Amino acid sequence: MSDELTGAPTDAMHGGEPLGPPPHIADTTPPAGARHDIFFAAVETTRMPMIVTDPWQDDNPIIFANNAFIRMTGYALEELIGRNCRLLQGPETDRSVIDQVRDAIRREEEVAVEVLNYRKNGSTFWNALFVSPVFDEAGKLKFFFASQLDISRRKEAEEALHQAQKMEAVGKLTGGIAHDFNNLLQVVLGYVDLLESRIDESDRAARRAIEAIGMAAGRGATLTQQLLAFARKQELRDRLLNLNTLISDFGPIVDRHVGGDITIRRSFSDDLWNSRIDPVQAEMALLNLLANARDAMGCTGMVTIATENLVSTEDDPRANGLEPGEYVAVSVSDTGTGVDEDAIDKIFDPFFSTKGVGKGTGLGLSMVYGFMRQSGGGVSVENLPDGGARFTLYFPRARGMVEGTRAPAQQVRGSGQQILMVEDQPQVAELGKAMLEDLGYGVMHVDSAQRALDLLRDGKEFRLLFTDIVMPGMSGVALAQTVRREFPSLPVLLTTGYSDRALDEDSRAFELVRKPYRRADLAQRVRQLLEGPTGIT
């Protein structure tokens, strides 16, 4: 009970009559015989916590508490009898709710509230409290009866639902922004590549300008990837791998990224399970955590990267919203000051940042959150007893053998092969056509999936279909599926700056290059598809 069932009735409450308990309830402790009748036996054994308070005694003390109330609060019976219910209140108890209960007590009315209470050991629980006055036959107040219910799980579920709805709403907004922004960046980066190939090596000023434009656009591309990852609209290309190997392989990047006077310690499980994840996005998530640790320590201290196998159960508190099952856990611990308690619940929110103005976008950790949820896992944060914080990524375990790495395809120019390009954005289409022609291919551009199908059905021959996914009318995925049925020998390359989850599974059957793509990326993907499994063009 959370409440202040405080204060004895006043003269005003009883029409000016003298205060004091009526003679027949002067002994407010229920008689021994009454405690053993059917009613008290039922009350004592019920699972719902219940108490009775006496408003005729000073400070309205508890005079009866059943076994369920004792179990819920952790107090012994002798610690409860004679004390006011305020013993269950604490620093985070909402005073406005307590005032609501107090007012109802003063008016001798029923009241139902939900309030945060504290057990004897200091732990908190949400209490659904119902208080009702008990009157005698003459209508005089005798006692207050209060029933309670621990609703902590329900409140946690409501909070999780609220958080999910908030994330979904922001995700829709950020996903749409990222889609449009990726198309703009595609134009910038594409023409940077074209200009770079045309500027003379001796023109250092022009090359520095091109390089600066490319770096700025590259940072913008990273930002959109973070937005899409948070929104869980980043198309993931996962493969079976071992996270020990992944982290070891890009160790030099980790060392350069952390920098400063920071020591990096690695503690890997020898028998780590495999996972099926997108390696590029996994690396980005890990680098975001490392950057967060570096900034938290002021560029000096120790960062520990650890891996372990984890079997999560329903009662496991380590990862919020993590389904029971087998996971591979990757943690990043630092020796900084830890995460402020007021910030822990908001730390994965988009644009939330504890850094100064200009020192962060507030998207790094939200990108990690979005990627992990989209990957079927989760992420948690906790402060360590000796100082610092630990962020942990939970990847679902996958069965099977790890795939070998492929040697990068040699970038060879085309020799006039005809490519059908489908793109509804004029600037992006013009750029893509220029890039492919610069690589030695012939290009025919159309702005809709239906026009592309009409060309193919009329007998026009092409060596490759290169199509955007998100377009008005028929999507690029639907076009690719139709082409595969009607023209099975024609290879298909998809591209997108945004991927709707409804299309993700279908798009996995085709090769994809993400916007904004660079000239070299496009050349490699096109060459791989034209060569085919036999290597014959």
Final residue before a domain boundary, out of 150, 179, 210: 150
Q: How many CB atoms lie within 10 A of CB 395?
A: 26
Q: Which domain holds residue 31?
A: 11-150
Phi, psi of 36 (to 5 degrees): -115, 5
- Domain match, 277 and 422 both: no
- Distance, CA of 234 to CA of 372 (rounded, Å): 11
Look up residue 87 and give its DSSP letter.
Answer: G
Does residue 221 lie in a domain region? no
- Domain match, 424 and 396 both: no
Q: How many CB atoms lie within 10 A of CB 32?
A: 7
Angle (nearest 5°) at CA 371 between 369 and 377: 80
The CATH code of the domain that includes 482 is 3.40.50.2300
- Domain match, 252 and 357 both: yes
- Domain match, 345 and 451 both: no
Q: State whether residue 160 is helix, strand or coil.
A: helix
Does residue 178 lie in a domain region? no
- Domain match, 489 and 434 both: yes
Does residue 333 lie in a domain region? yes
- Distance, CA of 168 to CA of 328 (rounded, Å): 26
Looking at residue 352, its pLDDT comes to: 53
- Tokens 């959370």 correspond to what residue? 2
Q: How many domains does the chain have?
A: 3
The CATH code of the domain that includes 307 is 3.30.565.10
Helix (H) or strand (E) holding 277: strand 274-277
Final residue before a domain boundary, out of 337, 372, 404: 404
Angle (nearest 5°) at CA 313 between 312 and 314: 130
- Domain match, 431 and 389 both: no
Angle (nearest 5°) at CA 434 between 428 and 439: 125
Does residue 448 lie in a domain region? yes
Looking at residue 251, its pLDDT comes to: 79
Instruction: Give the pair of three-digit tokens for residue 5.
Output: 């069932």
Look up residue 25 and give its DSSP letter.
Answer: G
- Domain match, 272 and 379 both: yes
- Domain match, 333 and 443 both: no
Q: What is the mean pLDDT of each run of 10 residues along the chain (537 residues)?
A: 45 35 42 56 81 91 91 92 91 91 92 92 91 90 91 81 69 66 78 80 81 78 62 59 86 76 88 85 84 83 91 67 85 87 69 47 66 82 88 85 48 78 89 88 93 92 92 89 93 79 62 82 88 51
- How would you list the strands of the sheet with 442-446, edge to edge? 442-446, 418-422, 464-468, 492-496, 511-514
Does residue 87 contact residue 60 with C-beta atoms inside 8 Å?
no
Does residue 181 lie in a domain region? no
Phi, psi of 40 (to 5 degrees): -70, -30
Looking at residue 158, its pLDDT comes to: 79
Q: How many CB atoms lie within 10 A of CB 407?
A: 6
- Domain match, 400 and 425 both: no
Which spans in 131-151 are helix H?
none
Does residue 161 lie in a domain region? no
Q: State whether residue 159 is helix, strand or coil.
A: helix
Q: State whether residue 230 is helix, strand or coil.
A: helix
- Distance, CA of 190 to CA of 520 (rounded, Å): 10
Length reported for the chain: 537
Distances, alpha carbon 526 to alpha carbons 236, 263, 413, 489, 492, in Å: 20, 42, 10, 15, 9
- Domain match, 357 and 261 both: yes
Does residue 409 lie in a domain region? no
Final residue before a domain boundary, out of 103, 124, 150: 150
Does residue 294 lie in a domain region? yes
- Domain match, 243 and 392 both: yes
- Domain match, 266 and 391 both: yes
Does residue 348 contact residue 390 with C-beta atoms inside 8 Å?
no
The CATH code of the domain that includes 45 is 3.30.450.20
Strand ranges in 356-411 using DSSP code E only, listed in sequence order: 378-383, 389-398
Looking at residue 360, its pLDDT comes to: 46
Looking at residue 75, its pLDDT comes to: 94
Does residue 306 contact residue 330 with C-beta atoms inside 8 Å?
yes
- Tokens 């990837």 correspond to what residue? 225
